Amino acid sequence: MRFVLSAFAVLACGLLPTSPRAGELHGSVRSLTWGTRDLKPGAWDQTQPALPTLQHLTLRGDALGGTGLYFDGSAFAMQQLAGSGSAPTRRGDLVYGYLGWQNAGRSARVQLGRQLVLSGAPRYTTLDGVFVDLLGPADLRVQVHGGTAVFAGFDHALKAPAVGARVQWQPALRGHVAVAIQDVSGLAAATRRTVGADFSARLPGETALAGSAAYDLLGRGLQDARVDLSNRPRPWLGLHLRGELRDPIAYLSADSIFQAFVQRTDGVVGAGFDVQTPGALHGSGSYERFVAGDGHLDGYRGQVDVGLRLDDRGEDRIGATLARVGNGDNGYSQARLWWRGRLRDALRPALDLDALWYFRPIRGHDQSLVATASVRWTGKAGLSAGVDAQWWSNPAFTAQALVLATVSATDDLFRPTAPPPPPLTPPKAETEDDEEDEGEGEKPAPKPDGAPSSDKPAEQPKADDEDDDGAAADGKADAVARAGGDR
């Protein structure tokens, strides 16, 4: 809790308005609290209440002191209140935080602190160190980094020295090609010297091609190779192809709905499409085949999505999803219905229903129903709040119901309201002619060329925030699938 209060105090100071000479400061704080019941440790039929609380803070500063200095940071703090037979727990960490400098021409920048850097292909490493980015002639970019690699997937206590470099050529609007190398030493489980290359290209006929490859020079061989091809033969139709080979040991286990059934993957081949009709109907579909080795079964995933916009702004929508995921005789089928709406511009309700049928019963149950309802409120000055309620029917899971409360605030909450713009024309001085015309009524002053015909201010477009459709709904499928992996 002390960490939370200290971070919030720093953030609050950063949110206060500053002079132009001091630069621009922006920040936000998000607090989530959810109530549920979890299984007691070592018990399969007894539950205990749980009330975790999470605070996520961000703070960014640009052009500090009127110079090229800037900083960016994000941190979280979490605490779990004491439940039946358990003690309260607290933990927190810095997600990223660095101080940087950029020259006036934006051709050079240096960053010092915790940050994400490319590790030889489009894969990132968390680095505590320094990062240098230089833009040279002929569209060449050189990036160099060095410091300590932090393996958050294992534990932040697991660290190792790391150095790397990347050279990229990116002609305007044509794509790019880059080569990179990174050396991580000192850990038997993570030591590697990776050489990588990645590219992208825009081809004629609305075709785009992208790919990458990474190879370990210390004997592990090919780490990753992927190619993505997309084409739009019609304005309303898009086609996509994907292929990937990878060494599963080079990847940490992913916490996703598919990983509950296929824990190791050596290759992926997939195809998909998307349709955007001139009307309100849109949809997409995909099929991916997962190839596994060393005794693991192959897997697949197929999915079709259909959506319908009920208003011109796209803020009132309904949709449906059909999916099938499996490997061998294990997996599930899924049917989903959802609705997103907006009431009086400030409220955004949502409903989500998921039904799943398992290939093999889980603790005697071969189906499950998950229902989620949520509502979001958006304030006028950077303040928003939301409540999500979720319930599922399968008693195999650690929780039968979940209630999540969210409160978010940004720096707009502390900034004064901008003064109204000055009039388009200065007030007209009174003259003798004006005094003679007083009985005829006031005449409007002529407007300059290009001025709007109405005196009302132009309506500003609203930011599109469709991605925040409900925090609990986003995570329910993972909770459902993880139960399949735990059985």
pLDDT digits (tens, 9 = 90+) for 64-80: 888 899 999 999 888 87
Contact between residue 303 and residue 270 where contact means Cβ atoms under 8 Å apart? no
Say if residues 15 and 413 touch (Cβ distance below 8 Å): yes
CA distances from 136 to 117, 169, 171, 333 (A): 20, 10, 12, 52
Q: What is the pLDDT of residue 52?
A: 85
Cα 170 from Cα 261, distance rounded (Å): 40
Q: What is the pTM of this model?
A: 0.70
Q: Tell me, what's the pLDDT at 121? A: 64
pLDDT of 396 = 60
Digit-coded pLDDT (tens) for 331-354: 899 999 999 998 887 899 999 999
Tokens 């894969």 belong to which residue? 123
Q: What is the pLDDT of residue 445?
A: 39
What pLDDT shows up at residue 87? 63
Q: What is the pLDDT of residue 155?
A: 44
**CATH topology classification for 253-414+470-487:** Porin (2.40.160)
**The residue type at 190:** A
Strand bridging mode 175-184 / 159-169: antiparallel
Place of tokens 């690699």: 149
Q: What is the pLDDT of residue 233?
A: 93
Structure tokens at 151: 């393996």
Q: What is the model's pLDDT at position 283? A: 96
- Tell me what pLDDT residue 50 has: 77
Domain ranges for the chain, please list them. Answer: 1-92, 103-233, 253-414+470-487
**Which residues on adjacent β-strands are paired with residue 391?**
371, 401
Amino acid (1-letter code) at residue 67 = T
CA-closest candidate to residue 339, choices 323, 315, 370, 305: 315
Choose among 217, 213, 225: nearest CA to 194.
Answer: 217
pLDDT by 10s per residue, the chain, length 487: 344 334 444 444 444 444 445 578 889 999 988 887 766 766 666 767 778 888 999 999 998 888 899 999 999 888 876 554 556 677 788 889 999 999 998 899 999 999 988 766 656 788 999 999 999 988 899 999 999 988 754 445 567 889 999 999 998 778 999 999 988 886 665 677 889 999 999 998 889 999 999 888 887 788 889 999 999 999 899 999 999 987 766 554 444 444 555 545 688 899 999 999 888 999 999 999 988 766 566 789 999 999 999 888 778 999 999 999 988 778 899 999 999 998 887 899 999 999 999 888 877 778 889 999 999 998 877 889 999 998 888 766 656 778 889 999 888 777 766 666 666 555 455 444 444 444 444 443 333 333 333 433 333 334 344 444 444 444 444 443 343 333 3
243-256 exposure pattern, b = at least 16 Cβ within 10 A, e = fewer: ebbbeeebeeeeee
Cβ neighbours of 56 (radius 10 Å): 17
